[in-house]
Amino acid sequence: MTRINTNVSSLVAQNRLQSSNNDLQQSLTRLSTGLRINSGSDDPAGLLASEALRSEITGLTKSISNTQRASQIISTADSALGQVSNLLNDVRGLVVEAANSGALSKEEIAANQLQIDSSLEAINRIAQTTTFQGRKLLDGSQDFVSTIGSVSSVSDVSIDQANLGKTGQIDVEVVISSAAEKASATASDAGFSAAAQATSTTEASVNTFTIGDATNNVTIEGQFDSVVIEDGGGGATTAASITDGVLTITVDDAATVTGAAVATVLNGVTGVYAEETGTLADVDAAAAADATAIEGAGLAITAADAGGDYNNVSINYVAGTGATTTASYDDEQKSLTVTIGTGAGENSLATIAAAINSGTTEFDAEVADGSGSTPAAAKVTEYGEFTLDTDNLPAEASTGNTGGEVLNADLVFQLSGSDGAETFNFGAGTTKAQIAAAVNLVSDSTGVEADSTSGLEFTSTGFGSDALVDIDVISEGAGGTFKGSLDNTRSTGADIVATVNGVEANGSGNSLSINTSSLDLSLTVDDGSSTNFSFSITGGGATFQLGPDVTSTQQASLGIGSVSTGQLGGASGRLYELGSGQAKSLTNDVEGAAKVIDEVIGKVVGLRGRLGSFQSTTLESNLVSLNETKANLQEAESSIRDADFAQESANLTRAQILVQSGTNVLSLANQNPRNVLSLLG
């Protein structure tokens, strides 16, 4: 069919040419932009996916920048802490040097103190001047804020990391199920002689007794311990003598022996003085056996309490200048001093006993009355006063080991603790208190101390599983009971057992720690404390955004405590106490200074280690992960949105050919209606 009003061929050619032009335009656009998707119409689903990926890539890019910035901050803090560590090591050297007081002069020690003061000032300066873009790092402003200060049983705390979440607060509950314990071993009382009341007896240096009645008698004074009156067996001679402290008077029962004769005989005995009062016509020796062995009196001094605490107490009698006899006890010197008064009768044993009883609470004293049968008529009628000779007072006496609680045999043992070992050698008769004193003298080098209150208890100075008490009995003499009385020869302590917010904590001595995704802290409670407590972390800390999304799970909060001298320290004290005039200066307490500086060095090293760990494990690993994730997302976004130049170049060539071909075809199609003219001619 031939038509001229509608050129179908031309219309078809136009449509195809339009389509080819569109394809050509699309190829030119993709090749010029490098993108496959330039508008939503190019690929709606692909556009949505690529835009989402682009958003994630932007967040990752900033996260990488944040991580790098955080790493730079940590590096700055670590560099400053390195200088603090150097200063602390210098201080420690000065403290150790100052402990050599036997070789250093006071001026040298003072010079060391000046150096320490300068180092402390430098540490405070570093704490205040270490900044990053105006933000101070080591003054405590980057530490967490908590209510732990109100918990009295906590001696030290370090909050290293905390995720405060949306509420901006973490409530912490610590439940201690088992307190830390020391290592211990005990030698029971069976390892020593039985406890008794320590005693000492002082014999009277002058005894006085009377033969006869109240009116007619012979009064006898002398230095003897006892008296014996015996029958002469019918002989008419009266005799008297002292042998081994026993005054023996021999009278004849069958003869009449006058008091004057007895006095004459007694006055002929050295150390005896006799005087007749009235007229004693007959000294009857009948039933002499009943009057024999009348022992002289002594002053018995007995400790009020049983036990070795009153062993080897010296008893001293001194002539005083006052009228009254007094007594006093020096607990440190273990010395009982009796001062004899100048008044009449003040040197009698009864008066001295009363003075001891009223002047001390540690001892009881009494006069031991003479023993023997009741004297018959005209025999010894009265054992009168028993006194001390003030011109020749007794020598120093001692309770010896009468209080018991001493070793029954020689003993050698090695005592080992967490800090070292020492070998001890004690002889038989050594008291529990003396052994305890020897052990305590070197407790700083063994880590073991002793107490003799009940048995002999050896305990470690520290708490926890590292604490040790090991007793190796090397030798013990025959009859010794020490080794057999030990309840154990090796013991270790126990660490604290606790939970923090329901999570089992790591225990070490009195310290516990926990490290979870939301909380990383360590704290130390008072020695042996089992008190539960709670506190809240209400803010603070240095928060770093490490992920592409602003959520608490993609943030890390790190606590950086103050390194000023007022804050650095632990259970032994604070660093500022090492300054001039402070409690632990070199002149006041060099040993305490050594303990403090060791704790402080540990704290700073721990802080550096924690920051280094955060930098290497958290920041650097996060940086690697973010870069890899970003690369993967960029690859995914590129595969969706970027143009394939090879394919688009082929499409361009094809579209160009089709446009040229379509143009030629359209030209031909437009000429077809002219053929109708040939029909009209």
Is the pLDDT confidence value at 372 over 50? no
Q: Determine the Cα–Cα distance for residues 319 and 345; give it in Å rounded to an integer.
A: 14
Is 98's pLDDT higher than 80?
A: yes
Comparing 62-71, 87-96, 318-327, 455-464, the range with the smallest average pLDDT is 62-71
- % of the chain residues with pLDDT over 90: 40
Beta bridge partners of 132: 135
Name the more confident of 59 and 230.
59
Of 210-214, 293-297, 356-360, minimum mean pLDDT range? 293-297
Closest by CA to 513, choosing from 523, 527, 503, is 523
CA atoms within 13 A on the CB side of 481: 15
Across all residues in the chain, what is the average pLDDT? 85
Instruction: Classify 357 as helix, strand or coil.
Output: helix
**Tokens (6 digits) for 288:** 């002499």
Q: What is the rounded distance in angstroms from the CA atom of residue 383 to the CA atom of residue 226? A: 10
Chain-centre distance for alpha carbon 470: 19
DSSP 463-479: -STT-EEEEEEEEE-TT
Cα angle 619, 622, 627; round to 5 = 125
Question: DSSP of 608-660, one letter per residue?
Answer: HHHHHHIIIIIIIHHHHHHHHHHHHHHHHHHHHHB--HHHHHHHHHHHHHHHH
Q: How far apart are the first and last CA of the chain?
A: 19
* Domains of the chain, each with CATH number or no CATH: 35-141+541-642 (1.20.1330.10), 184-195+404-492 (no CATH), 197-403 (no CATH)
- Model confidence at 492, pLDDT cuts 50, 70, 90, reads very high
* pLDDT tens by residue, 128-152: 999 998 889 888 888 889 999 889 9
Question: How far is Cα of residue 49 from the mean position of the Cα atoms in its chain?
Answer: 62
> Is residue 280 over pLDDT 80?
no
Written as six digits, the tokens of 660 are 């040229």
Per residue, the 3-state secondary structure of 78-125, as one string, reads HHHHHHHHHHHHHHHHHHHHHCCCCCCCHHHHHHHHHHHHHHHHHHHH
Tokens of 363: 């001892």
Q: Which of 495, 416, 485, 529 is nearest to 182 (CA)?
A: 495
Pairing of strands 411-417, 420-426: antiparallel
Q: How far is residue 308 CA from its own chain's centroid?
A: 30
Half-sphere exposure of 637 (CA within 13 A, CB side): 16
Q: Are 338 and 356 in contact (CB under 8 A)?
A: yes
Task: Give the pairing of strands 542-545 and 555-558.
Answer: antiparallel
Scan for tokens 């949505």, then name that residue.
Answer: 48
Q: What pLDDT score does 186 carry?
A: 96
Task: Report the distance separating Cα 597 and Cα 193, nearest Å.
Answer: 45
Higher local confidence (pLDDT), 364 or 370: 364
pLDDT tens figures, 420-474? 999 999 999 998 889 999 999 999 899 999 999 888 999 999 999 999 999 999 9
% helix / strand / coil in the chain, to the nearest 5?
A: 35, 30, 35
CB-CB contact of 598 with 92 (8 Å): yes
Whether residue 229 contacts residue 249, with contact meaning beta carbons closer than 8 Å, is answered with: yes
The amino acid at residue 443 is S
- Residue whose C-alpha is closest to residue 611's, from 64, 78, 66, 65: 78
Q: Please check whether residue 299 is in contact with residue 348, taking contact to mean a CB–CB distance below 8 angstroms.
A: no
Contacts of 36 (CB under 8 A, 6+ apart): 30, 42, 43, 46, 640, 641, 642, 643, 644
Which ranges of 99-189 does DSSP label H, i.e. alpha helix? 106-129
Q: Can you tell me whether residue 35 is helix, strand or coil? A: strand
Q: How far, in Å, are 156, 465, 467, 504, 528 from residue 494 at the CA level?
A: 20, 5, 8, 16, 10
**Cα dist. 198→313, 350, 383, 400, 402 in Å?**
9, 20, 28, 8, 5
Q: pLDDT > 70: what percent of the chain?
A: 92
Residue 284: phi and psi, rounded to 5, are: -85, 130
Closest CA to 466 of 491, 443, 447, 493: 493
**Which residue is associated with the tokens 């335009």?**
25
- Which of 358-362, 560-564, 668-672 has the weakest average pLDDT? 668-672
Residue labelled with tokens 């004290």: 573
Q: Phi and psi dihedrals of 151, rounded to 5?
A: -95, 110
More confident residue, 577 or 572: 577
Q: What is the pLDDT of residue 234?
A: 63
Residue among 431, 424, 418, 594 nearest 509 (CA): 418
244 or 175, higher pLDDT = 175
* pLDDT on residue 468: 96
The answer to whether the CB of 112 falls within 8 A of the CB of 90 is no
Q: How many CB atoms lie within 10 A of CB 217?
A: 22
For 327, the enclosing helix (H) or strand (E) is strand 326-330
Confirm if 370 and 208 have CB atoms less than 8 A apart: no
- Say if CB 514 and CB 505 are below 8 A apart: yes
Give the lowest-confidence range in 180-189, 247-256, 518-527, 569-578: 247-256
* Contacts with 639 (C-beta within 8 Å, 6 or more apart), sequence order: none
Radius of gyration of the chain (CA): 53
User: Is the pLDDT score of 276 beyond 60?
Assistant: yes
Spatial separation of the C-alpha atoms in residues 426 and 430, rounded to whole Å: 6
Q: Given pLDDT bands bounded at 50, 70 and 90, which one contains residue 601? A: very high
Torsion angle of C-alpha atoms 425, 427, 430, 433, degrees rounded to 10:
0
pLDDT tens for each residue of 379-419: 445 555 678 888 888 888 899 989 988 999 999 999 999 99
pLDDT of residue 204: 79
